[in-house]
Structure 1
């Protein structure tokens, strides 16, 4: 009898030990934090990379400029991201944690940091970077030859431009001159060309904009703004807005006019990539929408417009998803949702809605 009790106690101890070990192995995987690296890769971007955490389904990324107050900037399912829209000379600190499908969180990674150097920023200020007329990289877009300036963009004080010869009269190679549509009334004073515009931009040369230290002008050239209203949103105290030509709008719904993203600044659903005055937001009316049709439409039309897909949260069982694209220095995000806000659960009797944020 005593032997049976001892055997039962041993069996119970072994089973409890096994259950404890299983529970430990199941719940503590996530407490192995990822190892993170940070590196400035352009005049406005820092790239983060980390190793795969076994069992993780996603990662949360936090950023700080004082190494004390961290805010979550993204939740991703990849082992890395590029944080954009940053200022040069500022030290950015990052930490990352992982989570599993049960919502268990890992510890934070070690804090890493990176700074965009003035040298990297200066290279990035010009859309041509450090290229000169002898650089191999120029041939991707231009057939260049020696000119009055050694640089593709004229040096400060040099007023002779490509347009001086490539105007269709002295050369059959015509350089695009940033033509925009102001409307018939505007053209009388402003002309239909950003280069020839005299009322607001008196320099009439590439250097005046593309090498400007003005933050608004710098952002406009960096993000390749193609409308005067991107900067001058209220000329003559009249609100003006125009949709960029490479932003496709899903058909069969009504869309709002583009609005400055700063209106939604601080909203939890708006990521830092487009949470600034350089981005615009447009949204649709609510109606019955097929999420698969929406996904297929934007997968096709964004690709045709030259956008590259970075992230997709689409799942057949979800009532919402997010698509994130990039194009050069620009970002575009598309949300399908039936709740109150993007990336929120819930349903609305009036149907689903689309919202886009883009540079």
Structure 2
């Protein structure tokens, strides 16, 4: 059965906002968390870039949900040995509920130390070697490795994972899917492409999880939601390899001029149509995904969590009657009429909204 998780965007929200979102996600009935790993946001409107490993440490002390990185690049900005140590510690803190998603990365995040940005073929080779190095280190044994891209000399993780630490490999085409099947414990991809998943399964991925997700903008005002997505996440619709090659948020803002408001309205689920949100998620189920992560774009996180708790997640899980009952109103929450039990709601106050100023 498909699991429904919530996606935490380190590019768009402050560390404290991310923690509050994780609490709300758990209270709303999401069963997993995924989190991005960025040094830079995609554009100035997003305006954040929290360090993912600090965030995972905080999450481990805040919620009980499993956490997956979607995705980390363990090849350029961080050496695979350092990534392995961070991942192992995360697994210990989360008591084995951590999964490491990895990919070949983007110049946006990986060029910051001044290294040459390799071709895709080079990056794919580097990723494969990095996975090999990390798996060796996860055993807790002393490791020496001398390969074409990385050297590890007498390294040992004294704080090793409590069990096997799954590594999911990201990709967007048939070659990457086949590589994920061969070296990964699962496959990460962000479009509901059943043919691509079939390639993964046929190449040796049968029985391994397929993981991905989508961004939405729940709002009572669909036009406002489309504007919000167009301002914050036009980068989701950039064509080809641009997302891997452009080095700065300023370059992404220039490229995003190619993305029209109409393109956003057609491609991203916006508004408060429950059936539209349910259908957007079910497209991933039908394609064969085992885990689907949903991220809410923009400041109106509380309305999103209320709607998904009361209507969207029940519909996805087959509770059709719950999908059509009215959203719980603030007045009902105050009087207790139709309100969930106290332990079903986040105890913190509403998440502070991000404003346009300073972004």
TM-score by length of 2: 0.22
Higher helix share: 2
Give the number of the structure with larger relative contact order, counting CA–CA contacts within 8 Å between residues 6 or more apart: 2
